[in-house]
């Protein structure tokens, strides 16, 4: 089981870093380079998904990724159309920061039987969108309001609710290519209250940010835009190696 494997790895190797590939047409001309960069960067796993995939080639691109990497592939679906057994597991997301029933239960019901039929490992994940200066694609597409990071109690209440609902993972999302990530003092406070692993993504651009987030309590880091924008494995390899052996209990 992939999640158990990642958790075991986390216990032995420290903070895990996952690459994110957006299998959208916008990346078609650099797709092989993205995969090559990911493969050379010593990532621990690979998320595949996007909030807006404008054509029907999701599965074709996913298959291409699968054929060209040895990393475990976990779906990070923008909606119920992004489900395939060309991945080993799926983050079964509930957008708990929002109040839109489509992303709280409707997409989940639409996708449940297909996931069951395909026998994909399910990783129940509470997904919280946090407010940053730039409006994220998730905010626009989901038509939900992100949580204000200054309202610490409200964010922590959402985290606790996500944990009590039985989620195995809590994903703190600042949105793809955001200008900032989760505030470190907030992350530390969440870490003090929450026992399930914290995944942090959105706007991780350098080693300092990655290290700070890992030290503040992120069990998993997700890096997407930086890979697409630089296509330079030296940068991502450096980040990934910097958090190796970093344990935050
Ligand atoms: C987006 O959290 C992920 O859903 C990754 O964000 O693209 O900014 O790395 P970046």
pLDDT along the chain (249 residues), means of 10: 97 95 92 98 97 88 97 96 96 98 98 98 98 96 98 98 98 97 98 98 97 97 98 98 83
CA of 158 to the centre of ligand 1 (A): 21
Q: Is residue 248 part of a domain?
A: no
pLDDT at 56: 87
pTM to 2 decimal places = 0.97
pLDDT at 246: 82
Count of structural domains, the chain: 1
- Ligand 1 centre and the CA of 78: distance in Å? 13
Q: How many residues can be counted in the chain?
A: 249
Q: What is the largest CA-CA distance in the chain?
A: 45
**For position 245, what pLDDT does the model report?**
84
Give the pLDDT of residue 249. Answer: 64
> For residue 197, what pLDDT is reported?
98
| Structure confidence at residue 52 (pLDDT) | 81
CATH number at 204 reads 3.20.20.390
Residue 96, ligand 1, Cβ within 6 A: no
Residue 249 lies in a domain: no
pLDDT of residue 121: 98
Q: How far is CA 226 from CA 60, 136, 229, in A?
A: 23, 16, 5
Asked if residue 141 is part of any domain, the answer here is yes
Identify the pLDDT of residue 226. 98
What is the residue range of 157's domain?
A: 2-243
């Amino acid at each position: 089981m992939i999640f158990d494997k990642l958790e075991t790895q986390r216990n032995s190797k420290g903070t895990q870093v996952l690459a994110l590939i957006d299998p959208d047409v916008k990346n078609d001309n650099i797709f092989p380079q993205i995969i090559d960069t990911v493969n050379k960067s010593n990532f621990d796993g690979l998320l595949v998904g996007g909030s807006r995939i404008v054509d029907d080639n999701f599965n074709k691109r996913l298959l291409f990724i699968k054929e060209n990497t040895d990393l475990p592939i976990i779906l990070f679906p923008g909606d119920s159309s992004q489900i395939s057994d060309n991945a080993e597991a799926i983050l079964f997301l509930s957008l708990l920061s929002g109040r839109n029933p489509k992303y709280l239960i409707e997409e989940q019901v639409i996708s449940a039987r297909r996931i069951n039929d395909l026998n994909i490992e399910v990783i129940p994940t509470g997904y919280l969108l946090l407010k940053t200066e730039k409006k994220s694609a998730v905010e626009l597409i989901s038509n939900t309001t992100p949580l204000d990071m200054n309202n610490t109690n409200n964010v922590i209440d959402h985290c606790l609710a996500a944990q009590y609902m039985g989620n195995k993972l809590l994903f703190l999302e600042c949105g793809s290519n955001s200008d900032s990530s989760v505030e470190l003092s907030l992350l530390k406070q969440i870490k003090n209250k929450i026992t399930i692993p914290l995944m942090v993504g959105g706007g991780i651009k350098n080693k300092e940010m990655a290290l700070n987030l890992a030290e503040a309590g992120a069990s998993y880091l997700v890096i997407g835009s930086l890979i697409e924008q630089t296509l330079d494995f030296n940068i991502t390899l450096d980040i990934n190696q910097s958090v190796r052996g970093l344990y935050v209990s």
